[in-house]
Amino acid sequence: MQSKIIVAIDGHSSCGKSTMAKWLAHQVGYIYVDTGAMYRTITLYALRSGFITSAGIDTEGLKASLGNIKVSFRLDPDTHLPLACLNNEVVESEIRGMEVSDNVSPIAALPFVREVMTAQQQQMGREKGIVMDGRDIGTAVFPDAELKIFVTASAEVRARRRYDELIGKGETGINLADIERNVVERDYIDSHREVNPLRQAPDALVLDNSHMTKDEQNRWLLSQFETCVAAHQQ
Ligand code: DC
């Protein structure tokens, strides 16, 4: 039997990491984990509980409540794609809205949040056969992952993709300039936080998909996967 590997896909926000990770997992029969969704779900909890206000984040309140937050995934019976759940409530569409997007980076920068999330992610990948996307998967969660991909694209292209996605979901009152500001701001916070910042692992393969079609990208990804699996067969 083919031995299973861990595929770590990191990179900037809105550059299509989740779409490619999901596609690859489906193609090769691996489990897919969107770690951004986990940080988004914690952020939703913090917003709902009043731990995020215009005055800032009540970190002590959030820290004391961590034990009450269960982040999990449930498979959509129709699409078979994972849906993020907060204490067993499906919150997949709520966590993709602007309110969560605007607040997630500072929450993801909190060391106690990262510690709990990283431990859960390592547990999910203990049997390998997993494609996980995020910011620190190849550097902190699975530094020994067999295949590491670092994805990027220009801020302009990424903002346009996020805008089209939100419009496609029927969101109103959004504008492209706000989205681009959010994309750039999140990159900054994600790359400059103290704990496990976004950075490219030295052994990651870089993919700039600014000018690639989804098909070209998928072909590239599958060929990297096949090469890597072949190299790891005893
Ligand atoms: O991929 P995304 O846009 O859904 O991620 C949401 C936020 O969570 C983003 O600001 C970066 C952060 N994140 C992180 O810090 N570490 C991860 N492994 C995944 C996401």
- 57: which strand partners? 52
Range among 68-82, 165-179, 213-227 with highest mean pLDDT value = 213-227
For residues 150 and 148, give the distance between their C-alpha atoms in angstroms, rounded to a whole number: 7
Tens of pLDDT, residues 146-162: 999 999 999 999 999 98
Total count of residues recorded for the chain: 234
What pLDDT is recorded for position 51? Answer: 98
**φ and ψ at residue 84, rounded to 5 degrees:** -70, 140
**Under a CB-based contact definition with an 8 Å cutoff, are residues 152 and 208 in contact?**
yes
234 confidence band (pLDDT: 50, 70, 90): low
Among protein residues, the one with the nearest Cα to ligand 1's atom 20 is 36
Locate 229 and state its tokens: 């699996």
Mean pLDDT of 203-221: 95
Among protein residues, the one with the nearest Cα to ligand 1's atom 18 is 134
Nearest to 13 by CA among 171, 196, 181, 139: 181
CA 48 from centre of chain: 21
What pLDDT is recorded for position 113? Answer: 97
Tens of pLDDT, residues 55-104: 999 999 999 999 999 999 999 999 888 999 999 999 999 999 889 988 99
- The verdict on the CB of residue 96 being under 6 Å from ligand 1 is no
CA 91 from centre of chain: 15
- The verdict on the CB of residue 82 being under 6 Å from ligand 1 is no
Question: What is this structure's pTM?
Answer: 0.91
For residues 180 and 153, give the distance between their C-alpha atoms in angstroms, rounded to a whole number: 13
**Under a CB-based contact definition with an 8 Å cutoff, are residues 106 and 4 in contact?**
no
- The verdict on the CB of residue 142 being under 6 Å from ligand 1 is no
Q: How many CB atoms lie within 10 A of CB 233?
A: 7
Mean pLDDT of the chain: 94
For residues 97 and 58, give the distance between their C-alpha atoms in angstroms, rounded to a whole number: 22
What pLDDT is recorded for position 1? Answer: 66
Q: How many CB atoms lie within 10 A of CB 11?
A: 27
**Under a CB-based contact definition with an 8 Å cutoff, are residues 131 and 33 in contact?**
yes
What pLDDT is recorded for position 80? Answer: 83
- Cα 13 to averaged position of ligand 1 atoms, centre (Å): 7
Q: Is a pLDDT exceeding 80 seen at residue 177?
A: yes
Mean pLDDT of 189-196: 89
